[in-house]
Amino acid sequence: MHCCYFISDLLALNILLVYGRGKLGPPPPTHVWQWYGNEAATNPPAWLFEGIADYVPLTSGFQIYEWAQPGAGKKWDESTEVTAAFLTYCDSLKPGFIPTLNKMMKTNYSDDYFVQLTGKSIQQLWTDYKAKYGQKA
């Protein structure tokens, strides 16, 4: 039991150290918990893998630098910050969306995972996301 607390404290410390130095890439410990498929042809796209990595500190209160505002961006894969904000929206529609999506990516990736989890395509989710913030997709 104490081991889990120790590991989570170390993870939080690492996030603070990395983000506390300015705008750096996602903290490496975030990637430790992510699945990345097992075949290059079916691995998750970089925008999603890195977007999930930015989602973690964004939703954990560790956003040290200025993040993309909700609804920002021209496309969900524009930047990791835009992707993280978009994924936050997806998770608000289906709590547990991110951990479930991550688990699904253990062996491969498909855009259809968004449909399986939310009943909507990525494009429809993006359109709805933009509309929520009064913007056109």
> Considering the chain, what percentage of its residues have pLDDT values greater than 70?
64
Say how far apart CA 88 and CA 90 lie, in whole Å: 5
- Cα Dmax for the chain: 49
Which residue stretches of the chain are H helix? 2-20, 28-32, 46-60, 80-93, 97-104, 112-118, 122-132
- Span 67-91, average pLDDT: 90
Average pLDDT over residues 32-51: 66
Higher local confidence (pLDDT), 134 or 38: 134
3-25: average pLDDT:
46
> In this predicted structure, what is the pLDDT of residue 40?
57
CB atoms within 10 A of CB 42: 12
Report the range of poorest mean pLDDT among 58-62, 90-94, 101-105: 58-62
Domain boundaries, the chain: 2-132
Reduced to 3 states (helix: H, G, I; strand: E, B; else coil), residue 23 is coil
> Quick count: other Cβ atoms within 10 Å of Cβ 105?
21
